[in-house]
A = this chain, B = another copy of it.
Amino acid sequence: MEKLTLHEYAPSGNCYKIRLVASHLGVTLGRRHYDILNGETRTPDFLRTVNGNGRIPVLQIGDRYLPESGAACFYLAEGSSLIPDDRFDRADMLRWMNFEQYNHEPNVATLRFWLAFIGEGGLSDFQKAQLPGKRAAGDAALDLMERHLADRAFFVADRFTLADVALFAYTHVADEGGFDLASRPAIRTWIDRISALPGHIPIDA
C-alpha cells in the first residue's frame, strides 16, 4: 500500500474513526495535526492541496487526498472483515454510517465540540438557539441506537464492522456533550464490547 498520512485534529471523533480502523487492520498512519480552532484547515494552501471543503479528516494516499471519514474508513477496510461480504449487510453498514453523519454527528458531536471544546460562554446567540434542537435530535439518535442494540451485539451482520466504528467514535464520548448514557444500558454494553476488542485504541492514543 502507498504511504498513508492522516491530516487531522486529534480530538475529532471523525479523525479517531480512521485511526481506529487502521489499528484494527494493523496499518501504520503518518499523522499531521491542524489546529481547527485557529483556522488551519481554511488556509489557501490547505484548500488548494488537501481539501477544498476546508475540513479534516483527510486521508492522504501517496499523492492523492481522500476527504470524509466514511470514505477513508471504507478505503482502508476493503477486503477485511470490517466490511461484510453479504450485499445487503454491506449496504446496511453504509446505512448506519450515513445515519451517523446525518442524524447523529451534527447533534452529538456538535454539542460535544460546543460545550466541551468552546464552552457555553463562548457560543454565539445563534448557536445557543440551536442547543435545544440539537439536544432533542441527538437524544433521538441515541434512542434509535439503544433500541437497535437491545437484541444485537453489533450494528450489522452480528459482527464488528465500520458501522460500529462510525457510531462508536462520538457515542462513547457523548457525555462530554451532556448526553446521558446511564439510561441507555444497551449502548453502554456495546461500548464495553467494542473497547475490549483486540486492536482497539482509545481516542487519545
A interface, CB within 8 angstroms of B = 52-53, 61, 64, 66-72, 74-75, 78, 87-88, 90-92, 94-95, 98-99, 101-103, 106, 126, 129, 133, 144, 147-148
- 9 smallest CB-CB distances across A and B, nearest first, come from A75-B91, A71-B95, A68-B98, A71-B94, A68-B95, A71-B91, A70-B98, A74-B91, A52-B144
Q: A68-B98, A88-B61 are in contact. Are A126 and B129 (CB under 8 A)?
A: yes
Closest residue on chain B to residue A77 by CB atoms: B91
**16 pairs, CB–CB < 8 Å, chain A vs chain B:** A52-B144, A52-B147, A52-B148, A53-B103, A53-B144, A71-B92, A71-B94, A71-B95, A72-B91, A74-B91, A75-B87, A75-B91, A78-B90, A98-B101, A101-B102, A129-B129
Q: How far is the CA of A72 from the CA of B94 in the complex (A)?
A: 9
Q: How far is the CA of A133 from the CA of B98 in the complex (A)?
A: 23
Please classify the interface of chain A as helix (H, G, I), strand (E, B), loop, or mixed, using the class held by over half of its residues.
helix
Q: A78-B87, A92-B66 are in contact. Are A53 and B101 (CB under 8 A)?
A: no
Indicate if the CB atoms of B99 and A102 lie closer than 8 Å.
Answer: no
Q: How far is the CA of A5 from the CA of B91 in the complex (A)?
A: 16
Q: How far is the CA of A64 from the CA of B88 in the complex (A)?
A: 9
Residues of B within 8 A of A64 (CB): 88
Residues of B within 8 A of A72 (CB): 91
Q: How far is the CA of A147 from the CA of B53 in the complex (A)?
A: 11
Shortest C-beta distance, A135 to chain B (Å), equals 14
Q: How far is the CA of A64 from the CA of B75 in the complex (A)?
A: 27
Indicate if the CB atoms of B68 and A94 lie closer than 8 Å.
Answer: yes
